[in-house]
Every structure is written in structure tokens, then in C-alpha cells.
């Protein structure tokens, strides 16, 4: 893209919040939609699933806004990381009808099982809720649970971390991930991944007691490797255990962006 901008649709997620908790509970800590707080008393969700036919799973996902006081537009966004596929359904809810339901069909070919993310976003693309669900050929759908909960997050001591627009040393606009590791006893590696539908890039950084800070830039100007849409920008240790995770909305612009308050 010639010119683009990016913003976090939820707070930058730190490993500390994910230890000994479900993914849904941890992600809920980072919801910061001003619309949700101003016009509702919170959000409820539910889903049902079953086999429509052999190898085809049907899923219904329902969102209800509690205490809704005004019109509220939102969308269900289903993303399949392994399939490089995203599906969306939108709703406009009101106090008399505060519930919206979407349906999808998943065709399972040779796979025995798979997984997808279901995220709920408001009309400014802020995240309201996110679940990671698994499915199988028998039509069973359930929340994803790490095989080894204690090995999902990194044991490294995470210090300050941020993900925000900045200028690089050539004056170009970038989306900059910065993180610090504290109390390092020796040299290690940090992996930073940039992922969206069809694009998967990984960078490896060497860190140690004398250089414990990682700075990784995503160029937002004259970058032909960008696609608009949802991006996941995450950092892990050398064994792929979580340090930070950022959910980002990236879009193309015609003019220079204004600051987002």
C-alpha cells in the first residue's frame, strides 16, 4: 500500500494475563470499546453446532447486548488461520431487539478437525469479545484449550511493552512493537510474527542481559507487502511461548492520517 494506518482494536495483550486462565477470560481484560461501555451493560454470547451432513458442520453464534440504550451496529468475524479465510456478518441491534445471530457452514475435507476465531467488533472495529473454537468431523464444537496450560506463556520476565505508530530513523511512519525482557540470565531469542489472511512473516531477534529490548517495525508507507484488514502481531520466546499479542486493524488511506483519540 502507498499509505496506510493501523490501530489496536484491543489493548496490547501481555502474557501475565493468560497464565492459569481461559483465553476468553484473558482477552476480556483488554476490551476497550467506548461504545460498549456507554450504551450497554455488557455482552453475552452463546453458540450451537451440529452436523448438517457428512463432513459439513453448521454453527450458530448469538450475541446479546445487555441493557442496550440505543442503536448499536456490530459484526461477527469468523477467521480460519489455517485456511487463510475470513467471513463476516453484520447486525444493527436496538433496545427492542438486542440480539443478533449468525450462521456458518464449515466443509471438512480430509481433515479430522480444525479451529477458528470468532470475534465480535463494534462499528469502529474495536473488539468486544473473542473466542477460539475447535471443531471436528462429528460436528462437535468447543473452546480451544492449550494442551499444556503452563507451557502456553513464556517464563521470561516481561517488562514494558507497547505497539503504536512511530517514525523510523528515515522519518517514515511505522507500526512499532517494543518490548523489554527483565532479569535475563543469558542470551536468548524473541520471535515477532506478523499475520493476516495469506501473509505470515516471522522475525527473530537476539536478546541478552546487555541488550534486553526488542524493537520491530512494520512499514506503513510505500509497502507493497501489506493488505488491509485484521492483523495479529505477536511476540514469543524461542520455544513459541507467548510474550505479547496485538490485534490490529490496518487500512489504506488517501490522505495523511489524523491521530486517533
pLDDT tens string 114-170: 999 999 999 999 999 999 999 998 899 999 887 766 678 999 999 999 999 999 999
Residues 6+ apart with CB under 8 A from 235: 177, 179, 190, 191, 192, 193, 214, 216, 243, 244, 245
Least confident of 15-19, 148-152, 171-175, 209-213: 148-152
User: Which H or E element spans position 27?
Assistant: helix 23-28
Q: In this predicted model, what pLDDT tens digit does every residue of 75-123 receive, in sequence order?
A: 999 999 888 899 999 999 999 999 999 999 999 877 788 999 999 999 9
Residue 21 is predicted with a pLDDT of 85
Q: In this predicted model, what pLDDT tens digit does every residue of 179-221 receive, in sequence order?
A: 999 999 999 999 999 999 889 999 999 999 999 999 999 999 9
Asked whether the predicted pLDDT for residue 229 surpasses 80, the reply is: yes
Tell me the domains of the chain and their CATH numbers: 4-12+149-252 (2.60.40), 23-143 (2.60.40.10)
- Note the pTM of the prediction, 2 decimals: 0.89
Q: Calculate what percentage of the chain has a pLDDT beyond 90.
A: 83
What is the average pLDDT across 236-256? 92
Q: Would you call 105 helix, strand, or coil by DSSP?
A: strand
Amino acid at each position: 500500500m502507498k499509505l496506510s494506518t493501523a490501530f489496536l482494536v484491543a489493548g496490547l495483550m501481555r502474557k501475565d494475563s493468560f497464565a492459569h486462565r481461559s483465553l476468553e477470560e484473558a482477552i476480556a481484560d483488554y476490551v476497550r470499546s467506548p461504545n460498549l461501555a456507554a450504551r450497554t451493560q455488557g455482552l453475552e454470547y452463546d453458540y450451537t453446532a451440529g452436523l448438517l451432513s457428512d463432513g459439513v458442520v453448521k454453527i450458530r453464534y448469538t450475541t446479546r447486548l445487555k441493557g442496550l440504550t440505543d442503536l448499536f451496529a456490530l459484526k461477527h468475524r469468523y477467521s480460519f488461520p489455517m485456511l487463510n479465510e475470513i467471513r463476516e456478518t453484520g447486525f444493527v441491534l436496538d433496545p427492542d431487539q438486542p440480539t443478533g445471530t449468525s450462521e456458518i457452514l464449515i466443509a471438512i475435507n480430509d481433515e479430522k478437525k480444525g479451529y477458528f476465531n470468532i470475534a465480535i467488533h463494534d462499528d469502529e472495529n474495536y473488539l468486544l469479545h473473542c473466542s477460539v473454537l475447535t471443531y471436528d468431523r462429528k460436528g462437535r464444537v468447543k473452546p480451544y484449550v492449550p494442551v499444556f496450560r503452563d507451557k502456553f506463556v513464556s517464563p521470561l520476565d516481561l517488562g514494558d511493552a507497547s505497539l503504536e505508530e512511530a517514525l523510523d530513523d528515515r522519518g517514515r511512519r511505522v507500526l512499532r512493537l517494543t518490548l523489554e525482557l527483565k532479569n535475563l540470565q543469558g542470551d536468548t531469542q524473541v520471535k515477532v510474527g506478523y499475520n493476516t489472511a495469506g501473509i505470515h512473516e516471522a522475525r527473530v531477534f537476539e536478546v541478552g542481559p546487555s541488550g534486553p529490548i526488542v524493537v520491530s517495525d512494520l512499514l506503513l508507507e510505500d509497502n507493497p507487502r501489506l493488505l488491509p484488514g485484521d492483523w495479529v502481531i505477536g511476540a514469543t520466546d524461542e520455544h513459541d511461548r507467548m510474550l505479547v499479542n496485538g490485534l490490529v486493524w490496518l487500512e489504506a488511506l488517501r490522505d495523511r492520517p489524523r491521530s486517533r483519540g
